[in-house]
Structure 1
Amino acid sequence: MTRQRTALSTLIVLLLVLWAGFIVHRSPRFPGSLTGGVLAVSGASLIVVFSVFYSAVKRFPALRQAFSKYLSMQQLLSVHVYTGALGAILVLLHTGHRFESNLGIALTSSMLFSVLSGYVGGHLLGRVSVELREKQSLLVQLETAYNAAVDELARKPESPIAPVIPDSPFSFARMRSAIAPKISTSGSERAPGDAAGIASSIAELEYSIRSHERVKRLSSRWLVLHIGTSLVFYVLLALHVWASIHFGLRWFQ
């Protein structure tokens, strides 16, 4: 997963560097050349075909069931993300940094917004979802350990409970390493004060889970933005293709 994120981040950085290249380079005739045309068709195909394919498989259960034998939804999402980034790079190379027409500028802008919003939304949502699942799993273990500690205290009512004040600020990794011995401790060896410590850990973890859920909802809004900018890009792309054909292709000139 880390390797995939690094590779995708590299593609996004390359895309931004290529876009900024208009400062030092412009080739007005390259977009209409044969090479520029091949780059345009290849890039647009990578973006549109795999994007539509992923959306269809995601939203239609029959297609999802048919293709689940070969690729999981996570793998299809990875294909969609990588083909979108690669396609955007090819399309950007096709422009030759000739940002003159309003349609071309709007098309390039919508493409960049679509790719970047998908990257930001998907990256944040994926990372938050993984951490949220880990914390929910840890919460279940903590609740089990707490119930065992309370049962132990019920059998030894004379044992005092030493309050445990959690450190601050909150650190998920620090909490997991600190409470791991408490979770793994058997009932016969459990100290009575563990119940208070585990209760404090549960309170912190529940607060952290609620915070992650809020971030996850915010990340979902980023995906809505991604879908909206993608639809704008498709419309502008159709107009661009129509205009190119209408005013004549010069690929072999």
Structure 2
Amino acid sequence: MGEKERLSVSTLLIGVALFAPGFLLHVAPRFPGSLAGGLLGIAGALLFVLLLAYSLAKRIPWLKQRTSLRGVLSFHVYAGAVGAVLGILHTGHTYQSPLGIALVVAMLTVVLSGFVGRYYLAQIGTDIRDERQELGTLRTRYDAIASGIAAALQGGTVPAAKPALPGLPIPALVAGIADLEHAVGQREALKRALNRWVVLHIVAALVLYPLLALHIWSGIYYGLRWLP
């Protein structure tokens, strides 16, 4: 997971977030059935169908051995983000059909839950590891100071006051340990809550594809206005 990939996908999702509520400013009821709108819809639908390649590559042994899961996953992420942008543009900000609204909600849920699992949870895990390492360093220094004080008291001498770390007094060390413990606890609680993202992602996908198939069928059944 590179920084470039994270930035690219984040930019696409910001675009989705800006386009989705566009109906407040602009509505084009005829655009979804136009040639441009139809091509955007077809491209978006194809990208979402291609998202299944990652699930297949991960679960079919012979396919897993012949593909790079990392590369397929990167395609999966980009295809979902671009597909969502194309899907929102295809709507023309016309949210009147219950089927269309349900499809947009399912699509956004799939994409956003995937982003949480791919990037946000990974970042939380990295932050927790870094904070635990820092916390371990502070605790080690605190234990060393406490052991020195205890040994000095047992020997009947008064220990000389000394900084916990260069430029860091003992009260600040204790406060730093408490702050890090609190921060780690909060991040772990958030990570546990967000670990359910995969369930939401799968459920949303199971809802998305039947809705997408029904949407395509209804478009064909009621006629493609842009065809001669």
Same fold (TM over 0.5): yes
Does 1:221 find its partner at 2:196? yes
Q: Is the 8 A contact 2:54 2:73 kept in 1?
A: yes
Deviations 1:9-65 (A, max 9, x none): 322222132222333433333323333222112111222312x22334445666555
- Change in 2 beyond 3 A, CA 1:146/1:79: farther
* Aligned mates of 1:61, 1:17 — CA distance in 2: 40
Q: Does 1:133 align with 2:129?
A: yes
Alpha carbons 1:163, 1:197 under 8 Å: kept: no
Are the equivalent residues in 2 in contact too, given 1:11–1:86 (CA < 8 A)?
yes
1:144, CA displacement in angstroms? 5.4
Render the CA deviation track for 1:56-104: whole Å, top value 9, x for unaligned. Answer: 444566655543xx453xx654432322111111122222233332212
Distance of 2:133 and 2:61 partners within structure 1: 29
CA distance, structure 1, for counterparts of residue 208 and residue 92 of structure 2: 19
The alpha-carbon distance between structure 1 residues 137 and 47, as it changes in their structure 2 partners (threshold 3 A), is farther
**Structure 2 CA distance, aligned partners of 1:10 and 1:106?**
24
Corresponding residue of 2:53 = 53
Residues 122, 219 of structure 1: 8 Å contact kept: no
**One-letter identity of the residue aligned with 1:54:** Y
Summarize the Cα distance change of 1:138–1:107 in structure 2 as closer, same or farther, 3 Å threshold: same
TM-score, normalised to structure 2, is 0.74
User: Which residue is 1:249 aligned to?
Assistant: 224
Tell me the residue number matched to 1:100: 96
- Aligned residue number for residue 43 of structure 1: 44
CA RMSD of aligned residues (A): 3.8
Secondary structure in 2 matching 1:129: helix
What CA distance in whole angstroms lies between the structure 2 residues aligned with 1:249 and 1:37? Answer: 8
Cα distance between partner residues in 2 of 1:151 and 1:238: 69
Matches of 1:143 and 1:76, distance apart in 2:
42
Alignment partner, residue 172 of structure 1: none
8 Å contact from structure 1 (residues 18, 93) kept in 2:
yes
Work out the CA distance in 2 between the residues paired with 1:163 and 1:210.
30
Alignment of 1:20-99 (within 5 A): 20-50=21-51, 52-59=52-59, 63-64=63-64, 66-67=66-67, 70=68, 72=70, 76-99=72-95
Give the Å deviation of 1:150. Answer: 7.0
- Residue segments in structure 2 that go unaligned for 5+ positions in a row: none
Structure 1: runs of 5+ lacking an equivalent: 165-177, 183-192
Q: 1:139 to 1:61 in 2, by over 3 A?
A: farther
Alpha-carbon offset, residue 241 of structure 1 = 1.6
Q: Percent of pairs identical after alignment?
A: 43
TM-score normalised to structure 1 length: 0.68
Residue 9 of structure 2 corresponds to which residue in structure 1?
8
CA distance in 1, matches of 2:91, 2:208: 15
Give the letter aligned to residue 55 of structure 1.
S
Tell me the matched-pair count: 224
Distance 1:65 1:137, change over 3 A: farther
Alignment of 1:183-222 (within 5 A): 202=177, 204-222=179-197
